Structure 1
């Protein structure tokens, strides 16, 4: 039961991240919610960079989503668990970037740090 819940949670995380990347195209200002201060969301010259970020985020998340799905089908849950642990470095790194850029601590810990913790808990559920 724990493994099934953790597997479903890992898929939901991937789907949520694909959705967040897609917001860079529909609402470029939403991409600034990464919480780095002084990001010119309203500057039309900056919007292509936001779209590039969104496209890369979508591509990375689709890759992760497909790989997780393939791992669910053909690999052990232990392998999937180790993979999710490795991916937890991404939101942890995002938290460090926000903190070092002078962004709000609440966002660094509450958004990015919490995402890393959820991924770690998910991976533990897959490894146990």
Structure 2
């Protein structure tokens, strides 16, 4: 039950993050760890929002319609995103606290949930 609950929470959280990038992109970028240009990055921020929201919906769909094993594989693969985000933040002037405290920590939690889902 913990595996499913955590997976639902993580996927819902990613949907919220995606929605934030779509609705308040500048604030979302700051929260991500790399501030965006006031008048130049909206398309990229929208792409990030759409990507995140789509990943969240896909994760929930896998849980609901396919099951824990497929969701575990998805979580294992999708953990590459926050790991990549860690590198992006570090390479673009973000703080180590944001890179590791937000993005790497997220990857660890997603990987832990993948392990829990594999065990179901």
TM range (shorter): 0.7 to 0.9
Are 1:51 and 2:46 an aligned pair? yes
| Structure 1 spans left out of the alignment, 5+ residues | none
Q: Which residue of 1 aligns with 2:73?
A: 82
Map 1:1-128 onto structure 2 (within 5 A): 4-32=1-29, 33-37=31-35, 39-40=36-37, 42-43=38-39, 45-72=40-67, 77-128=68-119
**Aligned-pair distance for 1:19?**
0.7
Equivalent pair of 1:31/1:54 in contact (CA under 8 Å)? no
Question: When the two structures are aligned, how many residues end up with a matched partner?
Answer: 118
**Aligned-pair distance for 1:21?**
0.7
RMSD: 1.9
Could you state the TM-score of these two structures normalised by the residue count of structure 2? 0.83
Max radius of gyration: which structure? 1
The separation in 2 between residues aligned to 1:5 and 1:60, in whole angstroms, is 20
Distance 1:120 1:30, change over 3 A: same
